[in-house]
């Protein structure tokens, strides 16, 4: 798929991996709808890149439809990148007792159900597209995590939510093959995002040193480069790509 002239939705596009992706897509000639709950940041990024902003809780059906409808109003919706997510940390049994069930449920709702909600709604709209010369009508990309494979202490909820994203990658690709829609997932390792930058510098340095090569934190630009390649390489479908510098997480 050629990005130029197409419309894309990026959830979580107000910051971090999503912002890096939105800026890349705009630089390549795409029109971007940023779907995020951070209105001030999202509107600012949208203005800078000549895109649009929609306030969106990805787990809410009406919000998701509003984002898709906005994208369709701007042209041919050909891509969705799911970057919205939360990463709480809590042990199964901690000092204060059992893991809060509400927190576990919220993590699943945002990270897994939210991703699927946006996938199903975007795919519905893409299915109505006139196909490209290759027969393609759209591409869906979600964000998992290496925690889906190497979940650490305190990551039961997060790892479960991202494991679900990994698990649905292939069946969704198979579901949508007849529609000419590809579905892919990226599983980032340790990336320099707003969540990580809130940690002490010595912690950030230690995390970077633990990456075999390159021994640094991943950047939103690294993520965006892979998104670009996935959009442009139509043989990539139904797969999860680890973007992690060969790291395998220790228990803690």
Summarize pLDDT for 158-167 with one digit per residue, the tens. Answer: 999 999 999 9
How far does Cα 70 stand from its chain's mean position? 19
Please tell me the distance from the alpha carbon of residue 74 to that of residue 70, in angstroms, as a whole number. Answer: 7
Residue 251, classed as helix, strand or coil, is coil
Q: What's the average model confidence in pLDDT over 140-168? A: 97
Q: What is the pLDDT of residues 52-96, one digit of tens each?
A: 999 999 999 999 999 999 999 999 999 999 999 999 999 999 999
Q: Which of 47, 42, 43, 11 is nearest to 26 (CA)?
A: 47
Sheet with 52-55: list strands edge to edge.
Answer: 52-55, 31-36, 7-11, 77-82, 138-143, 181-188, 240-243
Split at pLDDT 50, 70, 90, the class of 204 is confident
Specify whether the CB–CB gap between 152 and 89 falls below 8 A: no
Residues of the chain above pLDDT 90, percent: 92
The dihedrals phi and psi of 240, each to the nearest 5 degrees, come to -110, 125
Q: Which of 231, 5, 229 is nearest to 138 (CA)?
A: 231
Residue among 53, 104, 158, 231 flagged as catalytic? 158
Split at pLDDT 50, 70, 90, the class of 250 is confident
Catalytic status, residue 223: no
State residue 174's pLDDT score: 99
* 145 pLDDT higher than 80: yes
Contacts made by residues 67-71, CB under 8 angstroms, sequence distance 24+: 67/9, 67/11, 67/33, 67/35, 67/118, 67/121, 68/9, 68/121, 68/122, 68/124, 68/125, 70/33, 71/7, 71/8, 71/9, 71/33, 71/122, 71/125
CATH number of the 7-241 domain: 3.40.50.720
Q: What is the pLDDT of residues 5-62, one digit of tens each?
A: 999 999 999 999 999 999 999 999 999 999 999 999 999 999 999 999 999 999 999 9
Helix axes 39-49, 16-27, angle to 10 degrees: 20
* 201 pLDDT higher than 90: no
Q: Where are any strands of DSSP class E within the chain? A: 7-11, 31-36, 52-55, 77-82, 93-94, 97-98, 138-143, 181-188, 240-243
Residues of the chain above pLDDT 70, percent: 100
Q: What's the average model confidence in pLDDT over 114-136? A: 99
Average pLDDT value for the chain: 97
State residue 141's pLDDT score: 99
State residue 95's pLDDT score: 95
Split at pLDDT 50, 70, 90, the class of 194 is confident
CB half-sphere exposure, 159, CA atoms < 13 A: 17
| Choice between 120 and 252, residue whose per-residue pLDDT is larger | 120
State residue 251's pLDDT score: 85
Other beta carbons less than 10 A from residue 180's beta carbon: 17
Specify whether the CB–CB gap between 25 and 2 falls below 8 A: no
Q: What's the average model confidence in pLDDT over 173-201? A: 91
């Amino acid at each position: 798929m050629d990005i130029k002239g197409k419309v894309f939705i990026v959830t979580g596009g107000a910051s971090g991996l999503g912002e890096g992706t939105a800026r890349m897509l705009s630089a390549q000639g795409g029109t971007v709808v940023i779907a995020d709950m951070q209105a001030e940041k999202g509107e600012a990024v949208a203005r800078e890149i000549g895109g649009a902003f929609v306030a969106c809780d990805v787990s809410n059906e009406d919000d998701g439809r509003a984002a898709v409808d906005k994208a369709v109003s701007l042209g041919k919706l050909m891509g969705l990148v799911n970057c919205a997510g939360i990463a709480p940390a809590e042990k199964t049994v901690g000092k204060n007792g059992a893991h809060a069930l509400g927190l576990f449920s919220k993590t699943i709702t945002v990270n897994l159900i939210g991703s699927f909600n946006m996938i199903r709604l975007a795919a519905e709209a893409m299915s109505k597209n006139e196909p490209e010369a290759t027969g393609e009508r759209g591409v869906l990309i979600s964000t998992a995590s290496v925690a889906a494979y190497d979940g650490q202490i305190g990551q039961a909820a997060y790892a479960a939510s991202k494991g679900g994203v990994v698990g649905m990658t292939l069946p969704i690709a198979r579901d949508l093959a007849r529609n000419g829609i590809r579905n892919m997932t990226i599983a980032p390792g340790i990336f320099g995002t707003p969540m990580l930058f809130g940690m002490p510098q010595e912690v950030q340095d230690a995390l970077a040193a633990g990456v075999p090569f390159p021994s640094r934190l991943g950047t939103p630009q690294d993520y965006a480069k892979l998104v670009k390649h996935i959009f442009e390489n139509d043989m990539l479908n139904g797969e999860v790509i680890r973007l992690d510098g060969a790291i395998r997480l220790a228990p803690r």
